[in-house]
Amino acid sequence: MEKDIIKYIKEGLETIYKAEIDNLDISIEKTREGIDGDFTVVVFPLVKYSKKKPEDTARDLGVFIKQRFDDIASYNVIKGFLNFKMTQEYWVNRLKKLSQNNQVNLNKGEQKIMIEFSSPNTNKPLHLGHIRNNLLGDAVSRILKAAGNTVIKVNLINDRGIHICKSMLAWIKWGENSTPESTNQKGDKLVGEYYVLFDKKYKEQIAELVNSGLSEDEAKEKAPLMLEAREILQKWEAGDKETRRIWAMMNSWVYDGFEQTYNMLDINFDKVYYESSTYLLGKELVAKGLAKDIFTKDPDNSVWIDLTNEGLDRKILLRSDGTTVYMTQDLGTAFERFEEFNPDKMIYVVGNEQDYHFKVLKKIIDKFDSDYSSKIEHLSYGMVELPEGKMKSREGTVVDADDLIEEMILTATKISEESGKINDLSESERKQIIKTIALGALKYYIIKVDPKKQMTFNPNESIDFTGNTGPFIQYTHARICSILRKAEKMNIKFMGKISTETSLLNCEIKILSTLTEFDNVIMESANRLDPGIIANYIYNLVKEFNQFYNDYSILKETNAEILQFRLQLSHQVALTIKNGMELLGIDVPEKM
C-alpha cells in the first residue's frame, strides 16, 4: 500500500505541478490515534515541487489520488499532513493476503553476515551477563536471516590466557584431584570455584605485602600466586606437556558444562573458534607488523602500536615475556574468519565496556591495508545487573545461568500450580509448558530492552502474567489457540473466503493495520540490530487483540461473515505472535 501511495504522489506531482522527479523520498506513516485515517503522508518535503503551502499541496494530492485509487474511502488534511482512510474491502483483502503467506522470509538483505556471540572464558560458568549476550546474538541472527541474509553464527571460546592459568593454579594447589564426577558438579562450576579461590588467596597475599611496606601496585605484581600464574602461562605457550594436559582436562570439563547451558537456552553455533588456535595467527601478524613498521618493540621486548596521533593510545600486542594479549588473538581471529568465509559484514556482540577495544582493533586492521575493518561492526550492549547491584565473577557474586534458569522454572511451577490452568494436562505436558513459560519469561524480559541500555533483571517481574512480559504474550497465543480449537469442535470452518462487504470495527482494522506492519518491523529490527523492536511490536499487537477480545464476542457472534472474519483475524494474530516470538528464540505453547 505504501508503495502505491508513493507512486500516485509522484504521478500527482508530475501531473499537477509539471515537476521532474527521479527519486521521491517521502514518509508514509500509520495515522496517529485520534485522527481519522489509516495512512499519513508528511507533505512538508513536497512543497519544493508544488511551490505552494503544505495544506494546499496536500489537498491537491488528495483529490488526485482519491480519483485514481479505489481502495481509498476518504482523505483529510491537517496542516501539512495528508491522511488517507482505506475502504473496508481493502482491509478484508489485506487479511486474505496475510493468510496466504504464513512464512517469514523477506529476501531483502542478501548479504553474508557473520555474527560472533557468547565468547565465554573457560575459567567460570556462564552467568546472567552471558545470558544477555547469548540471547541478543541468537535473536539478531534469527532476525538477520529472516531479513534475507545468509547468517553464520560463531563462538570464540577464550580458552587460554592468564585468567585460565589462575583457575589451573588454584586446582593444582588446593584441588586434591577433584573432578566433576567426584564432586557431583557441572564442570564449568567446579572450575569457576577455583577461579574464585585464586582471587581470595591472591588478595590475602597482596594485603600481606602491603603490610610489609610495598605499594598496592607493587604487591599485585610481586604476589607469589601471580608470579606462579604467569609461569604457568609461559609453560603453556612453550608447550609444556603437563601444563597442557591439565589445561585440556579442565577445559573439557567446562565445555561439557557450557553445552548443557546452551542446550537449555536453545543456542547453537555454525562454527566454534578457540583462542588457543587463533592466537598463533595473531603472533604471525605481529611479526609481519614489526617487519612493516606497523608495530614497535620496546627495550624489554614487548611489542606495541602507537595510535596517539589517531586519538587513541599505545596498545600492547606482546608482553615482554612473549605471551599474547586479547588484541593479538582478536587480530588473528578476524583475519582467519575473513579469509575462510569472506563475509560482507562481521558483527561482534560484546558488552560496551569493550567499545575502546574494538576501536583499536579496527585501527590496527586498517594498518594491514585490507578492507576488513570497514566490514566490522560492534553490537555494543549495556551491562545487566540484579536489583541488588552489579555482579563480580572474581568475587563469586554472579548469578550462574543454570541457577537462574532453575529459579525461573521453580517460580513458573509455583504460579502454574496456583492458577490451576494446566492441572488437567499430563505430567510431561505440564513440565514442558512450565519450561516454555520460564524460558519465555527470561528471554523476553532481557530482549525487549534496547541493547544499548544498561538493564536490571528482576526475575519476579519477568514471569508476571500481566504487562509487557513473555508469559503475557504466551498466554494470549494459548488463548487464541483455545478459541480456534473450540471453533473446530463446533464445526465452524473459518479459513474459507470472506466477503469484501463484511462490516469491520475500528478495533479490527487497527489490529489488521498492525499485522501488516510485521515485515517492516523485521527489516527495522535487522537494520538497527535491535530485537527489542520486534518484542515490543508483538506486545502492542497482543494488547490490541486482548482489548478487542474483552470488548467483543468471537464464538458467540451470530453473523456468519463477521464470525468468519474474526476467527481468521484471530488465527493471523496467533501466527504473527508465533513467528515473531520465534525470531526472539521464544516458544509459545498452544495450551496454558
Per residue in 530-559, pLDDT tens? 999 999 999 999 999 999 999 999 999 999
Residues 331 and 193 in one domain: yes
The single residue listed with the C-alpha cell 587460554 is: 160
Residues 260 and 141 in one domain: yes
Mean pLDDT of 141-160: 96
Residues 431 and 333 in one domain: no
Residues 412 and 381 in one domain: no
Q: What percent of the chain has pLDDT over 90?
A: 77
Residues 571 and 437 in one domain: yes
Q: Given 385, 418, 435, which residue is the final one in a domain?
A: 385
CATH for 444 = 1.10.730.10
Residues 6+ apart with CB under 8 A from 108: 147, 148, 523
- Domain span at residue 251? 117-385
Residues 422 and 368 in one domain: no
Q: What is the pLDDT of residue 4?
A: 82
Mean pLDDT of 327-332: 93
Q: How many angstroms separate the Cα of 88 from the Cα of each of 95, 96, 489, 569?
A: 11, 13, 30, 14
Give the pTM. 0.90
Q: How many angstroms separate the Cα of 434 from the Cα of each of 74, 192, 410, 423, 474?
A: 49, 29, 9, 11, 11
pLDDT tens figures, 443-467: 999 999 999 999 998 888 888 888 8
Residues 79 and 128 in one domain: no
247-286 burial, b for 16+ CB within 10 Å, e for fewer?
beebbebbbebbebbbeebebebeeebbbbebbebbbebb
Asked if residue 94 is part of any domain, the answer here is no
Vertex 10: Cα angle to 5 and 16 (nearest 5): 115
Q: C-alpha cell of 181?
A: 564426577
Secondary structure tally for the chain: helices H, strands E: 22, 14
Asked if residue 558 is part of any domain, the answer here is yes
Q: Are strands 271-274 and 150-157 parallel, antiparallel or unpaired?
A: parallel
Asked if residue 391 is part of any domain, the answer here is no
Q: Check pLDDT > 80 for residue 419.
A: no
Q: What is the pLDDT of residue 107?
A: 65
Q: What is the pLDDT of residue 391?
A: 45
pLDDT tens figures, 82-108: 999 999 999 999 998 888 876 665 666
Asked if residue 315 is part of any domain, the answer here is yes
Q: What percent of the chain has pLDDT over 70?
A: 97
Structural domains counted in the chain: 3
Q: State the Cα–Cα distance between residues 94 and 75, nearest whole angstrom.
A: 20
Q: State the Cα–Cα distance between residues 232 and 191, nearest whole angstrom.
A: 16
Mean pLDDT of 283-297: 95
Residues 519 and 370 in one domain: no
Asked if residue 167 is part of any domain, the answer here is yes
The single residue listed with the C-alpha cell 470452518 is: 493
Q: State the Cα–Cα distance between residues 96 and 572, nearest whole angstrom.
A: 10
Q: Check pLDDT > 70 for residue 30.
A: yes
Stronger pLDDT, 289 or 107, i.e. the higher one: 289
Q: What is the pLDDT of residue 285?
A: 95
Q: Is 309 exposed, middle or buried (0-12, 13-18, 19+ CB in 10 A)?
A: exposed
CATH for 196 = 3.40.50.620
pLDDT tens figures, 384-405: 887 765 545 444 457 889 999 9
Residues 130 and 269 in one domain: yes
Q: C-alpha cell of 274?
A: 578457540
Q: Please, are residues 137 and 268 in contact by the beta-carbon 8 Å criterion?
A: no
Mean pLDDT of 205-221: 96
Q: Is 141 exposed, middle or buried (0-12, 13-18, 19+ CB in 10 A)?
A: buried
Residues 73 and 133 in one domain: no
CATH for 41 = 3.30.1360.70
Asked if residue 402 is part of any domain, the answer here is no
Q: C-alpha cell of 378?
A: 560492534
Residues 219 and 362 in one domain: yes
Confidence of residue 515 (pLDDT cuts 50, 70, 90): very high
Q: What is the pLDDT of residue 472?
A: 95
Asked if residue 284 is part of any domain, the answer here is yes
CA dihedral 501, 505, 508, 509 (to 10 degrees): 70
Mean pLDDT of 480-506: 87
Distance of CA 466 to the CA centre of its chain: 23
Q: Check pLDDT > 90 for residue 350.
A: yes
Residues 6+ apart with CB under 8 A from 264: 402, 405, 439
Q: Given 36, 71, 86, which residue is the final one in a domain?
A: 86
Neighbours of 396 (CB within 10 A): 15
DSSP SS3 for 28: strand
Residues 139 and 78 in one domain: no
Q: What is the mean pLDDT of the chain?
A: 92
Vertex 157: Cα angle to 152 and 163 (nearest 5): 155
Distance of CA 265 to the CA centre of its chain: 13
**What are the contacts of 93-98 at 24+ separation with CB within 8 A?**
93/500, 94/1, 94/512, 94/515, 94/516, 95/498, 95/512, 95/515, 95/565, 95/568, 95/569, 95/572, 96/498, 98/515, 98/516, 98/572
User: What H or E segment, with its residue span, contains residue 368?
Assistant: none
Q: Given 86, 107, 128, which residue is the final one in a domain?
A: 86
Asked if residue 20 is part of any domain, the answer here is yes
Q: State the Cα–Cα distance between residues 240 and 237, nearest whole angstrom.
A: 8
Mean pLDDT of 117-126: 94
